[in-house]
Chains A and B, each alone.
Chain A
Amino acid sequence: MAEYIELSYWDLALASIFILLNGALSIAFRLGLAKKLFIVTIRMIVQLSIVAFLLKAIFAISSPFLTLIVALIMGLFAGREIWARQNKKLAGIWGYSIGAGSMMFAGFLVIIIALKTQIQPDPWWNPQFSLPLFGMILGNIMTGISLALDNLTTTLIREKRAIEALLLLGKNRQQALLPFVQGALRAGFMPIINAMAAMGIISLPGMMSGQILSGIDPVEAVKYQILILLLIGGATGLGVISATIFTALRLSDERDRLRLDRVK
């Protein structure tokens, strides 16, 4: 097995030549992207560098409390992202809390079970294992939930007349909303289903490639990748289902009314 090859800062500088080339092309073709490209490149480098130092510090301190705080902060940021990605949001605290709450519930449940029973690092919350895994799981639940919720609210607004026609004929809210909830769940599940279907044929996932690059046996790397995908799939499903159901309940009430007044 080949050894891990350490990168020098010079190597990174060399790799940025292609970005500079893109910038030059943008200027030549007047695409107006050069400045943006420059800013996001710098931003990416700064963000990742901060993460590197933070992770190094967190691994060194290795405290369960600190690990939990970091995980919560990650969750809160991802929750904000779910909120921001929706065209029409639930008014008030609900707009944030249903998405973020469902995501954290699913994420924490799956990661804790995985750490305790399958990966079993010592101690089980070891930030070197828990935080990167949590990040990967969180990112995927986030995408699923934001797609599902965006689909649900937009469809309910668009299909208001059809839903109310069902209610007027004596259907209760579960019956009237079911097809639209199903549609939203399908939208939320789609990315992870597509990702799993393409896995290994069209795309080699980043984590697996990373492990292979760092000299780990491909079979071991694939085993890890399968584990991650199973966790991501499970957590995304739980998060999407819970967020969609809670949002559908919030957008209707116990008198079987459609409550679009709760959308802002």
Chain B
Amino acid sequence: MRAIVDLDCSEGELILNKKRRDKMKANKWRKLVALVPAETGWWSEKVGDHFFTDSDELKKIIAALDLPANIFNWQVNRLSSGEKQRLGFARALINKPEALLLDEPSAALDRLTTRKMEKLIKQQAKKGVSIILVTHDENQAKRMANRIFYLKNGKLIPHKDIQSHKEKLNG
């Protein structure tokens, strides 16, 4: 996923809605294709400094993720890992990306908040945003995805093939 957003050097062609990565500036591409890493970075002490807007839409996302409205005045070091994860997700939505790459988006969340996050992700998908979600939770994959791949020894294996692959490994 780091290679898709061009944070790591990579080869090959990437096209999103007829827009080619190699014909775009990297920072423009990353606004189109947003990556939310499992652990996001913080460059300032105050939460609010990490958001370049205070639009109503952001406030709605914050509320939908069960975060308090005054969280922008908090210190980052006061945040729990679950709050950081949700804020990282909210931050990525501000640029209105056309594709979202989510690395374990709910790893630090409890069941209830996970469901709220999943609801938001589905809303994005309904809007036409392409989503790649990496998870260790097989049930989450089944709840969320219309295509599932397993990562085995660095190779993507489609879900429908996984049974025969397992047999091959065992055999």
Contact = CB atoms under 8 A, between A and B. Distances in A.
Contacts of A160: 41
Given A256-B27, A257-B6, A257-B8, A169 B41 contact: no
A255 B5 CA distance: 10
Interface residues of A, number: 19
17 contacts: A159-B41, A160-B41, A161-B37, A162-B42, A164-B41, A165-B43, A167-B26, A167-B27, A168-B35, A169-B52, A170-B30, A170-B95, A172-B25, A256-B6, A256-B26, A256-B27, A257-B7
A215 B151 CA distance: 81
Interface string A118-156: 000000000000000000000000000000000000000
Contacts of A258: 7
A165 B90 CA distance: 13
Contacts of A164: 7, 37, 41
Interface of A: 159-172, 179, 255-258
A164 B36 CA distance: 11
B92 A170 contact: no
Using C-beta atoms within 8 Å of the partner chain, give the interface range for chain B: 20 to 34
Interface of B: 5-9, 25-28, 30-31, 34-35, 37, 39-43, 50, 52, 88, 91-92, 94-95
A184 to B, nearest CB: 15
Contact of A165 (B6, B8, B42, B52): B42
Contacts of A255: 6, 9, 26
A186 B71 CA distance: 32
Given A159-B41, A179-B43, A168 B8 contact: no
A169 B37 CA distance: 12
Given A168-B5, A170-B95, A161 B27 contact: no
Nearest to A172: B27
Instruction: Summarize B's interface: helix, strand, loop or mixed.
Output: loop
B121 to A, nearest CB: 17
Nearest to A160: B41
B31 A170 contact: yes
Contacts of B27: 167, 170-172, 256
A14 to B, nearest CB: 58
Nearest to B91: A169
B25 A168 contact: no
Task: In the A-B complex, list the 7 residue pairs whose CB atoms are closest, starting with the nearest.
Answer: A161-B41, A165-B41, A162-B41, A162-B43, A170-B31, A256-B26, A255-B26
Contacts of B40: 161, 165
Q: Which of A160, A161, A258 has the most CB atoms of chain B within a 10 A radius of its CB?
A: A161
Contacts of B28: 170
Contacts of A170: 27-28, 30-31, 95
Nearest to B51: A169
B93 to A, nearest CB: 11
Contacts of A169: 30-31, 52, 91-92, 94-95
A168 B91 CA distance: 10
B9 to A, nearest CB: 7
A260 to B, nearest CB: 11
A167 B7 contact: yes
A168 B30 contact: yes
B132 to A, nearest CB: 15
Given A169-B52, A255-B9, 11 more contacts: A161-B41, A165-B42, A165-B43, A165-B50, A167-B26, A168-B7, A168-B30, A169-B91, A169-B92, A170-B31, A170-B95
Given A164-B7, A168-B34, A257 B39 contact: no
Given A168-B5, A168-B92, A169-B95, A257 B43 contact: no
Q: Which of B6, B27, B35, B39 has the most CB atoms of chain A within a 10 A radius of its CB?
A: B27
Given A168-B34, A169-B91, A257-B7, A161 B39 contact: yes
